[in-house]
Amino acid sequence: MRELLPGTSASRGMALGRARLVQPSRYLVDTRPLGEDEVDAEIEKLHRALATARQELHELRGKLHGALAREVNEFIDAHSLLLDDQELLRGLDDLVRIGHYRAGAALKKQRDRLAKVFEAMDDPYLRSRKEDVDQVIGRVISALQRQTSREERKLAARVGEILIADTIAPADMAHLAGNGLLGVVTSSGSAYSHSAILARSLDLPMLVGTRDALSTIHDDDLILLDAERAETIVHPTAQDLARYRAWQREAAQEGRRLATLANAPTRTRDGLDIHLFANAEMPADLAMARARGADGVGLYRTEFLFLKHKGLPSEDEQFIAYRDLVLGMGGLPVTIRTLDLGADKADAAGLALRGEDNPALGVRGVRLSLRYPAVFTTQIRAILRAACYGPVRVLVPMVTQPDELIAVRTLFKLARQELKRENVDLPEKLPLGAMIEVPAAALNVRALLEHSDFLAIGTNDLAQYVLAADRGNDGLENIYNPLQPALLRLIAYVIAAGRRAGKPVSLCGEIGGDVNFTALLLALGLCEFSMHPSQILHVRDRLAALDRAELRRHAPRLLRAYTHEQVEELLAGIGG
């Protein structure tokens, strides 16, 4: 019988396939007390499951390559650390040995204990880490069940399947997408989570918040995932299937039409030229950016060089990567962001920092770089050497106050003097910009502009900090909304300040590549967008239908709104 399950669209599109449930009975475990003579065997079974889960993560890391690896490896590292946490492991052993819990029941008990601890935390970032605990414990329970049941299915993609889960880690999504996965439906999660962002970059349809998915859908059910209407249809009818086939034909036709825009100018309906840049970190990103007619690279992430292996990358290793980036863009401008790591990832990069209770508000970005001037100088030297091969700009992340930019400029000046003495070719000019993602930087932007040649607004973190809401926390969807008036006023203020100073301002956050926000950003005065290369043609097409002058006339009303609902209503009224 046909059933319709509503959700929230995290990545648009449609898919028809058979359901594959991830751990459909993940916490339906054997609760019978364990006999004394069974304890040792149960401990061994538990340890085997933990070892299997560790091995799976290790193998998964080895399979991930390209632009997804840096983003995904962060989560693999976090999950690996949890699996090696001595407090967690001792607690599990004690539950089996002393409490006579069976392995699955012990895992569930520890999961419930840790979930309560995380849920009680005041800090939204730490509260959101409960999802990591769920995913790690789920992985171990899955491994445990596979030891005893041949029917337990592996968490792996098969062509023609749609994944149904409570949540999905970015690492698993990246792996499954490479093996033919058609779409994802989760019972929880946020449209702004890392997994949702990854799904959009992969063009993988995804629904989140489909509350009854795991209880209603069964393995091998035929389902139609409709992320256009934000619904999942179980056992679709002939009428549903006809609608899906019609969508397929329209999508193919639309794809062919968008492909013709690859070499078209980016211009609004009233004739204003707009610059579309690409966010990138791997050669595949650069190839896609060139193929889709990007105006250059607006954000090149350098962290992957520091995270792809233990230890710090040498100056020559960095130079080669940056040089190839510049050459790969064939004379188009490239913006290289300096190292943007926090204490939670610094150790993996070979930088020792004491643990921080809240790394999102700790020593990260430029704060970390200035803490290690020798390491930072190595990166600066590599960038200076590469900048001789084409136009390069340098973007400094997590800037809070002007003295950080002054310190960075000093290091660049000293590195330039060193290289000059070594008779190394140097660029005549290297523009230095500040990334605006800290509220203090946005509010004090005029002071930063005294020491910046350009600005880039990082709305992902700026929104989190302004709204004090983790974007991955589905319990805060009513708060974490890019249409929140406080955030819009800050964005507009930064753009206006840059315009008055005669310095370019780009936006490189997730909303930059989301056509749902294009009209709004145009209304706020933005003329430079930076996004995942897969979104360039969509945004170019959207811009061609918009009258920038008309939208600008509505900006005062948008900025006077009190709530994000009012902003939505105003945008609907002006065709945004």
Catalytic residues, which ones? 194, 508
75: exposed, middle or buried (Cβ count in 10 Å: 0-12, 13-18, 19+): buried
* Integer-rounded Cα radius of gyration of the chain: 25
Q: What is the DSSP letter of 149?
A: -
Left if phi > 0, otherwise alpha if psi is -120 to 50, otherwise beta: which for 356?
Answer: beta
Would you state the torsion angle of the CA atoms of residues 412, 418, 422, 428, taken in this order, to the nearest 10 degrees? 30
Would you state the torsion angle of the CA atoms of residues 151, 147, 24, 108, taken in this order, to the nearest 10 degrees? 160
Query: What is the DSSP pairing of strand 231-234 with strand 14-21?
Result: unpaired
Q: Alpha carbon of 388 to those of 327, 382, 385: distances in Å? A: 10, 11, 6
**Whether 191 contacts 2, CB under 8 Å:** no
Helix or strand run (H / E) with residue 165: strand 161-165
- Name residue, tokens 């204003």: 272
Cβ count near 386 (within 10 Å): 23
**Whether 300 contacts 328, CB under 8 Å:** no
3-state secondary structure of 67: helix
Tokens of 115: 């979930």
